[in-house]
Amino acid sequence: MKTFSLSKNERIKEKKIFDQLFKSGKTVLLKNNSLKIIYLTEKSDKTCVKIAVGISKKVGNSVWRNRLKRLIRNSYRLNKLNLIEMAKQKRMRIYILFSPINLNQSSSPKLKYFEIENQVVSLLESVRKKLDSFS
């Protein structure tokens, strides 16, 4: 696995996993954040961290939604190492779904990378802390 890539093996594609995320996943919201994370963990000898980005059509046009998805994926890609190391140490699989809450095209027509990255990093850090306490 390349360090700063986001391969197909690191993306959630199965409907079964999406259903599990929505049914029994835990949600992380931080104050003043426009993004949320739904995550699910399971013990396994084969460790992995997989992500997906889910954005409704109601939040903006396709150009805006695709830019938001690119920014979220890029922010995750550059800041994923701590989470992957923890998954290896604890021998678990982690599935993460990123989704916007108060973020839409009318409220923020020009998305800035550093704003999205700060939110993604803080959400990943809070997930890591919750999983650290989880034994």
Tell me how far apart the alpha carbons of residues 27 and 99 are, in angstroms, rounded to a whole number.
Answer: 10
> Which CATH number goes with the domain that contains 30?
3.30.230.10
Would you say residue 2 lies in a domain?
Answer: no
- Express each pLDDT in 57-104 by its tens digit: 999 999 999 999 999 999 999 999 999 999 999 999 999 999 999 888
| Number of domains forming the structure of the chain | 1
Would you say residue 98 lies in a domain?
Answer: yes
Tell me how far apart the alpha carbons of residues 86 and 77 are, in angstroms, rounded to a whole number.
Answer: 16
Partners of 40 in beta bridges:
95
Residue 19: what residue type? D
Torsion angle of alpha carbons 31, 116, 72, 122, nearest 10°? -40
- Express each pLDDT in 21-42 by its tens digit: 999 999 999 888 899 999 999 9
Would you say residue 82 lies in a domain?
Answer: yes
Q: How far apart are the first and last CA of the chain?
A: 26
Would you say residue 114 lies in a domain?
Answer: yes
Residue 34: what residue type? S
Percent of the chain with pLDDT over 90: 73
Would you say residue 3 lies in a domain?
Answer: no
Would you say residue 123 lies in a domain?
Answer: yes
Q: Is the pLDDT of residue 134 over 70?
A: no
Would you say residue 1 lies in a domain?
Answer: no
Q: What's this model's pTM, rounded to 2 decimal places? A: 0.91
Q: Quick one: tokens of 17?
A: 């996993």
Domain that holds residue 37: 8-133
Tell me how far apart the alpha carbons of residues 46 and 43 are, in angstroms, rounded to a whole number.
Answer: 9
